Amino acid sequence: MEKYRICGGKPLVGTVDISGAKNAVLPILAAVVLTKEVCCIENIPNISDVSLSLDILSSLGAKIRRLDSHTLEIDPSHLVTHVVPHDLSQHMRASYYYLGSLLGRFGVARSSLPGGCNFGVRPIDLHLKGFRALGAEVPDLPDNGMIEVKANGELVGNSVYLDQVSVGATVNIMLAAVRAKGLTVIENAAKEPHIVDLANFLNSMGADVRGAGTDVIKIRGVDYLRGANYSIIPDQIEAGTYMAAAVATRGNVLVRGVIPKHLESITAKLEEMGATVEELEDEDAIRVSCDKPLRHCTVKTMPHPGFPTDMQPQIAVLLALAEGTSFLTENIWDNRFKYLSELRRMGADVTVNGNTAVFQGVAQLKGAPVRANDLRAGAAMVIAGLSAKGVTIVDDICYIERGYEDIVEKLQALGADIERIYVAPSTAQAM
């Protein structure tokens, strides 16, 4: 099995180019089925979640042609089914976006109920509440692990209040509502940059979506959506991950191809801890450096524009290395601290009290064999390994490669001593 081998203690220095945003491209690929015309999507990151979404598109009957390493032409004119295959949808929660877009295309959609993940229960009650509000029939219970949503006639616009800010529910309701009859209003909507990106893509297809990026999104249904050419926004979480790695290794890194405004909450926290972050507006780039001890601070994850929960494990590594006592509160997920047991194996001094982790900073972490609990926890293990003294072996790297394009190559270009190694299963336990 493949692992990462990291020899830590080297400052990251150089330039890293940020790829397209995973959490923007997944809704946009699902949205392609809303039209019968060809779409050309640029700046698609080469990550396994995208590969899986493309497999779903192919299984539905879409034809996909690669124009270059990050550009695809997708022809959804001859879809053959409204059913997302279980063997594909079970591997990625975001496959449930096809419920909204297939409901919008065909008036019926069927997919497997998404499983949980490594940081707690992840219900979809708000997604289903939205579909019901638009007039779709939604069963109370799944049948054989699958869920089918069906419009009686056509979907009709309605107001939907999201009891909790939910990116997925906001996306799914947008995807179903763009073809519904009349006006849909989503209240308490998610405001993440990827919500705005989806709205921009839908509007480029001829939809009428207003207010994305605020907590009230208004969608006036249209009869027809045309094909569109679109370029995905840069990944704010990938950028934030490299920013945190630059600070953890006391390096100096130019993070290129970003939208600085999307990084404001991350920049603010890194500066509060003593890093220097310089926004080079004309270059769509930011330079992150840190050459002094990190200051303790308090971090609370919140929906955008607050500090993103998807940066929680990454910033935890910095808090573990900051002088004094730091507090990290997770307000989005009910159990997103599992990775801390791995960080403790590297010498972190941290205790968890409810949804708050309390860190007593240590001078340096020590390399150790660790595993990736999930995508962002895995990224945090890489950051910890890059900063630690000695060798760190990261297992379960498949999680990391779901959302980070060419992470080994990008880090090597920054001077990191990291390599992908193959460990035969028999010896894996011994490592």
Q: Which residues are catalytically annotated?
A: 117
**Residue 145 or 324 having the CB closest to ligand EPZ:** 145
Contact region for ligand EPZ (CB under 6 A) — 1-9, 18-26, 266-274, 350-358?
18-26
410 binds ligand EPZ per the rule CB under 6 A: no
- Minimum CB–partner distance for residue 31 and ligand EPZ (Å): 14
d(CA 382, CA 387): 9
Q: Which two tokens stand for residue 37?
A: 């015309």
**Residue 289 or 314 having the CB closest to ligand EPZ:** 314
d(CA 326, CA 330): 13
d(CA 152, CA 172): 18
∠ Cα 77 78 80 (to 5°): 140
175 binds ligand EPZ per the rule CB under 6 A: no
166 binds ligand EPZ per the rule CB under 6 A: yes
Q: Which two tokens stand for residue 99?
A: 């419920």
What are the φ and ψ backbone dihedral angles of 102, each rounded to 5 degrees?
Answer: -70, -35
Query: By Cβ distance, which residue is nearest to ligand EPZ?
Result: 168
**Binder to ligand EPZ among 2, 87, 125, 208 (CB under 6 A)?**
125
The pattern of x and - marking residues 127 through 146 that bind ligand EPZ according to CB under 6 A reads x-------------------
124 binds ligand EPZ per the rule CB under 6 A: yes
* Binding footprint of ligand EPZ, residue count (CB under 6 A): 24
375 binds ligand EPZ per the rule CB under 6 A: yes
**Residue 23 or 111 having the CB closest to ligand EPZ:** 23
Q: Which of 200, 176, 197 is nearest to 20 (CA)?
A: 197
The contacts of residue 155 (CB under 8 Å, 6+ apart) are: 103, 104, 107, 134, 135, 136, 176, 177, 179, 180, 181, 221
- Minimum CB–partner distance for residue 362 and ligand EPZ (Å): 26
**Binder to ligand EPZ among 164, 229, 298, 364 (CB under 6 A)?**
164
The pattern of x and - marking residues 297 through 336 that bind ligand EPZ according to CB under 6 A reads ------------xx---------------------xx---
d(CA 386, CA 398): 19
169 binds ligand EPZ per the rule CB under 6 A: yes
Given a contact cutoff of 8 angstroms between Cβ atoms, the answer to whether 47 and 21 are in contact is: no
Cis peptide before 142 (omega within 30 of 0): no
One-letter amino acid for residue 140 of the chain: D
What are the φ and ψ backbone dihedral angles of 402, each rounded to 5 degrees?
Answer: -70, -30
Give the strand order in the sheet containing 276-280: 13-17, 252-256, 285-289, 276-280
**Binder to ligand EPZ among 8, 45, 157, 168 (CB under 6 A)?**
168
Contact region for ligand EPZ (CB under 6 A) — 119-127, 145-153, 196-204, 272-280?
119-127
The pattern of x and - marking residues 384 through 403 that bind ligand EPZ according to CB under 6 A reads -------------------x
Q: Which residues contribute to the site for ligand EPZ (CB under 6 A)?
A: 22-23, 26, 93-94, 122-127, 164, 166-169, 190, 309-310, 332-333, 375-376, 403
